[in-house]
Amino acid sequence: MDWRLPGGVTRMILVRHGRPSEEMKGRCYGRLDVSLAPEGHVQAQRAASLLSQVELHGLYSSPRLRALDTAKRVAEGRGVGLQVEEAFREIDFGLFEGLTYEEAERRFPSLYAEWMAHPEQVRFPEGETFSEMRERVRAGGRALRARHPGQCFALVSHGGVNRTLLAEALGMADRHLFRLDQVHAAVNVIDFYGDEPVVKAMNLEP
């Protein structure tokens, strides 16, 4: 990846958090504040190393601990402050939060079946719909781009947030969102020529 920024281009770098703590494996977690697993800290450091030569004019993070812990690694040794942005939190699973997928299926069989068939259309009880998350994430992305015209900035958040912003750049329908893989600590790059996005890199594994 050539990290030199062409003149007049606004570059958005999207980083997914590292692997979360092991007790969350196989569970729904969006709103839950989950820390990184030991492997997640290693992944975060690798992502930071990958971006070590990139000049950042802004560094932002979701408020969730797993994203903040990852972003702090990226921030180390840089002259740019880390700012928390509520818009980029992961989707709120409501009453699904903390449940295993098997528990969610037993407690909410009809809704679970709908979620598996049409994940972009479900409203989680006492939580969010994907369209609600999509609108806050896209609005947040526009705000950051307006804050950094002609500059490079990074956002550390979640798989769902990254997919939402990448899908917007690619003009993908919501139902195709999960065609975009996002490994833990993945790095993605979108360049904006005015309002026209060009995806330069996606799902880079540090």
Region 2-25 average pLDDT? 94
CA–CA separation, 84 and 105 (whole Å): 34
Q: Which amino acid is at 189?
A: V
Residue 64 known to bind ligand = no
Is residue 100 assigned to a domain? Answer: no
**Per-residue model confidence as pLDDT tens digits over 105-130:** 999 999 999 999 998 889 999 999 99
Residue-wise pLDDT for 20-59, tens only, equals 998 888 999 999 999 999 999 999 999 999 999 899 999 9
Average pLDDT, integer, range 175-196: 96
Q: Which helix (H) or strand (E) holds 160?
A: helix 159-170
Cα radius of gyration rounded to whole Å, the chain: 17
Residues involved in catalysis: 17, 90
Residues 6+ apart with CB under 8 A from 55: 5, 152
User: Does residue 146 fall inside a structural domain?
Assistant: yes
If one counts the domains in the chain, the total is 1
Q: Confirm whether 103 is domain-assigned.
A: no
The confidence score (pLDDT) of residue 206 equals: 79
Query: What integer best gives the mean pLDDT of the chain?
Result: 95
pLDDT at 116: 92
pLDDT tens by residue, 167-185: 999 999 999 998 999 999 9
State which residues form the domain around 69. 10-24+34-90+129-204
pLDDT, position 2:
82
Residue 61 falls within a domain, yes or no?
yes
Residue 120 is predicted with a pLDDT of 87
In a domain, 104, yes or no: no
Answer yes or no: is 112 within a domain. Answer: no
CATH code for the domain of 146: 3.40.50.1240
pTM over 0.85: yes
Q: How far apart are CA 178 and CA 131, in angstroms?
A: 15
Instruction: Tell me, yes or no, whether 5 lies in a domain.
Output: no
105 within domain boundaries: no
How are beta strands 187-193 and 196-204 bridged, if at all? antiparallel
Mean pLDDT confidence for 174-199: 96
